[in-house]
Amino acid sequence: MADVGDEKEYKEKKSIHQLNQEDEKVQLYRLLDDYKFRRFLWRILEWSQMYSAAPNNNMERFEGGRDIGLRLLEEIFTANADAYTMMRAEAESRKHGLVGSRDPIKKGKKDG
């Protein structure tokens, strides 16, 4: 029978894993405060074609991109539930020409 390891060692590894996940969440939360980073993530979400109709061909590629988009959304919502709404509003502002390189959330401060 295989040795499954020491319970203490298992708990330490589990704790380290949980700490790493929490650290990643905090890091993403901080990054989502940056307009440029949100804009970059929005571009990736657009590339993933999550909201597009499935094509007649290349279904595997379409689903792969969609999967990446869904995983990215999960990360965003886990780190900061309001970030997606903010990103969407900023994208709409850019789409309608209301915003150039300015952050509408931070009242028009120039990107630095």
**In which band, very low, low, confident or very high, does the pLDDT at 104 lie, cut at 50, 70 and 90?**
low
DSSP for 8-48 reads HHHHHHHHHHHHHHHHHHHHHHHHTT-HHHHHHHHHHHHHT
- Give me the pLDDT at residue 103, please: 54
Please state the domain count of the chain: 1
Whether 41 maps to a domain, the answer reads: no
Is 3 inside a domain boundary?
Answer: no
Residue 83 within a domain:
yes
Reported pTM = 0.69
**Which residue range is the domain that position 84 belongs to?**
54-98
Q: Is residue 64 part of a domain?
A: yes
Is 58 a domain residue?
Answer: yes
* pLDDT tens digits, 75-100: 999 999 999 999 999 999 998 886 55
What is the per-residue pLDDT across 22-31, written as a single tens digit (0 to 9) for each?
999 999 999 9
In a domain, 79, yes or no: yes
Exposure of 82 in the CB half-sphere (CA atoms within 13 A): 3
Q: Is residue 24 part of a domain?
A: no
Within a domain: residue 85? yes
